[in-house]
């Protein structure tokens, strides 16, 4: 077992200041300075059944430039379109890039609400700090995302499973081939109307337990949403696909710890044959696991709502060997991935050492019991049918 690496919040004060203010006279991100340049003509919403994930974008984008000397410039909402970069821009050579993914949902009352956006902003600041890009005031960026959605609110699709996917992105834009910390950056936000991941109900997936490639490692950056983490994971996914599996179940180390699945967190449910008690398990946040907002929401709701006499909820290390062994003994109950795009994704089989571990599903169905339950809990909150703490924030009204 490895030790949790020190987190980015352990930066020294001096370094923190260098990364975030760099000079006391620079401007902070300020939503009240927003300038809006609208499209000449608003587009019509596409028919909902033609929406392909991340292929359709709305009319406007938000852009904010940053320089080390001046800090954050005035935010601009302008027509969606190409950005121009110098070919020597540091993002193109050394991958100074990070992103976020969150969604806005249209409630039955016609309000557009963001789900736990402050968690994404907090994570975006951590990603930025790790690659020497500037920090920003989360609340100001949430306000600006709200204004962007307000401009394009007629394009937020209606109905269960439909939403507006929001993609905040930050790049280092310093021109020059020397490797160093960027003195120029661009933050932008684009939005994409999306349909349900599962159009006709759940479809359980087959995973290949993967130890021939490693997604993340101790002291690395697997817990940050850096673009550089994703490109190297596509080839292993193709290798899995060649063998008939949709995604990689990422293992780590000689112990073969289970970490994540594809670009999702992963949960397993086991049953203790002696007590009959069930255990919901996911890997601990040790620096190799992306700190999923869906993961956190599932843990929080499960701790609040599952009967502790029947359930244990644990963030702990567990291995593919444990899963294989407990499957043989009939103690494996169900398993699912979690992430913003899908909410939950049920698992039916795991290829490991030339055999398939069968993950139980409800009779005649494509998921387990808890998978369905957490999906309904989360969607009720996302679509405003239920309130939970301050997880929802109204940013526009379509009426």
Which range binds ligand PLP by CB under 6 A, 25-33, 56-64, 127-135, 337-345? 337-345
Dihedral sign for Cα atoms in the order 175, 183, 226, 83:
negative
In terms of CB distance, is 291 or 365 closer to ligand PLP? 291
Q: In whole angstroms, how close is the CB of 48 to ligand PLP at the nearest point? A: 22
Using the structure block, give the residue that is written with the tokens 């899908």: 342
| Dist. CA 103–CA 343, nearest whole Å | 11
Separation CA 354–CA 139 (nearest Å): 50
Closer to ligand PLP by Cβ: residue 155 or 290: 290
Choice from 263, 367, 371, 392 touching ligand PLP (CB under 6 A): 263
Q: 340, 345, 382, 392: which one contacts ligand PLP (CB under 6 A)?
A: 340
- Given the rule CB under 6 A, which of 74-82, 186-194, 336-344, 346-354 is the region that contacts ligand PLP? 336-344
Q: How many CB atoms lie within 10 A of CB 220?
A: 14
- 265-304: which residues touch ligand PLP (CB under 6 A)? 265, 290, 292-295
- Find the angle CA(148)-CA(152)-CA(155) to the nearest 5 degrees: 140
The least distance separating ligand PLP from the CB of residue 339, rounded to whole angstroms, comes to 4
> In this structure, is the dihedral angle defined by the CA atoms of residues 261, 91, 147 and 33, taken in order, positive or negative?
positive
Residue 174 sits in the site that holds ligand PLP (CB under 6 A): no
The verdict on 342 binding ligand PLP (CB under 6 A) reads: no
Cα 102 to the center of its chain, rounded Å: 7
R_g of the chain computed on alpha carbons: 22
| 103 forms part of the interface with ligand PLP (CB under 6 A) | no
Cα separation, 105 vs 191, whole angstroms? 12
| DSSP for 44-76, written as a single string | PPPPGGG--TTT---SEEEEEEEETTTEE---E
Q: Is 65 or 291 the residue whose CB approaches ligand PLP more closely?
A: 291
Q: How far is the CB of 237 from ligand PLP (least distance, A)?
A: 12
| 264 contributes a contact to ligand PLP by CB under 6 A | yes
φ, ψ (nearest 5 deg) of residue 268: -125, 150
Q: Which is nearer to ligand PLP, 31 or 128 (CB)?
A: 128
Please provide the DSSP assignment of 1-31 as one string: -PPPPPPGGG--HHHHHHHHTSSTTSBPP-G
Residue from 97, 260, 286, 349 touching ligand PLP (CB under 6 A): that is 260
- Output 31 or 171, the one with its CB closest to ligand PLP: 171
Give residues 215-254 in contact with ligand PLP (rule: CB under 6 A). 225
Contacts of 213 (CB under 8 A, 6+ apart): 232, 233, 235, 236, 239, 248
Q: Rounded distance, CA 315 to CA 216, Å?
A: 18
> Site size for ligand PLP, by CB under 6 A?
14
- Closer residue to ligand PLP in complex, CB, 292/384: 292
The least CB distance from residue 99 to ligand PLP, in Å, is: 9
CB of 348 to ligand PLP, least distance (A): 20
Instruction: Provide the binding-site residues for ligand PLP, judged by CB under 6 A.
Output: 101, 225, 260, 263-265, 290, 292-295, 338-340
């Amino acid at each position: 077992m490895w030790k949790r690496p020190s987190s980015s919040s352990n930066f020294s004060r001096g370094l923190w200041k260098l990364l975030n203010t760099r000079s006391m006279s620079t401007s902070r991100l300020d939503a009240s300075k927003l300038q809006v340049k609208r499209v000449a003509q608003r587009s019509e919403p596409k028919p909902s059944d033609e929406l392909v994930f991340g292929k359709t974008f709305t009319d406007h984008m938000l852009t904010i430039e940053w320089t080390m000397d001046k800090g954050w410039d005035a935010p601009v909402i302008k027509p969606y379109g190409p950005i121009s970069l110098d070919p020597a821009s540091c993002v193109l050579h050394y991958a100074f890039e990070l992103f976020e993914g969150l969604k806005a949902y249209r409630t039955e009352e016609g309000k557009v609400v963001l789900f736990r956006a402050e968690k994404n902003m907090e994570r975006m600041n951590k990603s930025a700090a790790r690659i020497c890009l500037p920090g920003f005031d989360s609340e100001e960026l949430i306000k600006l995302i709200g204004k962007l959605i307000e401009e394009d609110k007629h394009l937020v699709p209606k109905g269960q499973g439909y939403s507006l996917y929001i993609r905040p992105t930050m790049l280092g834009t310093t021109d020059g081939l020397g490797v160093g910390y960027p003195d120029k950056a661009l933050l932008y936000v684009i939005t994409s109307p999306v349909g349900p991941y599962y159009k006709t109900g759940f479809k359980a997936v087959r995973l290949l337990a993967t130890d021939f490639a490693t997604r993340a490692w101790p002291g690395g950056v697997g817990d940050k949403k850096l673009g550089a983490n994703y490109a190297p994971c596509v080839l292993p996914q193709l290798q899995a696909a060649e063998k008939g599996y949709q995604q990689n179940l990422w293992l780590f180390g000689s112990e073969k710890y289970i970490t994540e699945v594809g670009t999702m967190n992963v949960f397993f449910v086991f049953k203790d044959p002696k007590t009959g008690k069930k255990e919901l398990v996911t890997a601990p946040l040790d620096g190799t696991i992306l700190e999923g907002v869906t993961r956190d929401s599932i843990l929080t709701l499960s701790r609040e709502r599952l009967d502790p006499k029947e359930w244990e909820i644990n963030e702990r290390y567990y291995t593919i060997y444990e899963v294989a062994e407990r499957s043989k003994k009939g103690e494996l109950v169900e398993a699912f991935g979690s992430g913003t795009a899908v909410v939950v994704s049920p698992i039916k089989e795991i290829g490991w050492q030339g055999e398939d571990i069968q993950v139980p599903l409800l009779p005649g169905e494509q998921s387990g019991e808890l998978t369905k339950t957490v999906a309904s809990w989360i969607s009720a909150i996302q679509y405003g049918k239920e309130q939970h703490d301050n997880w929802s924030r109204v940013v526009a009204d379509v009426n």
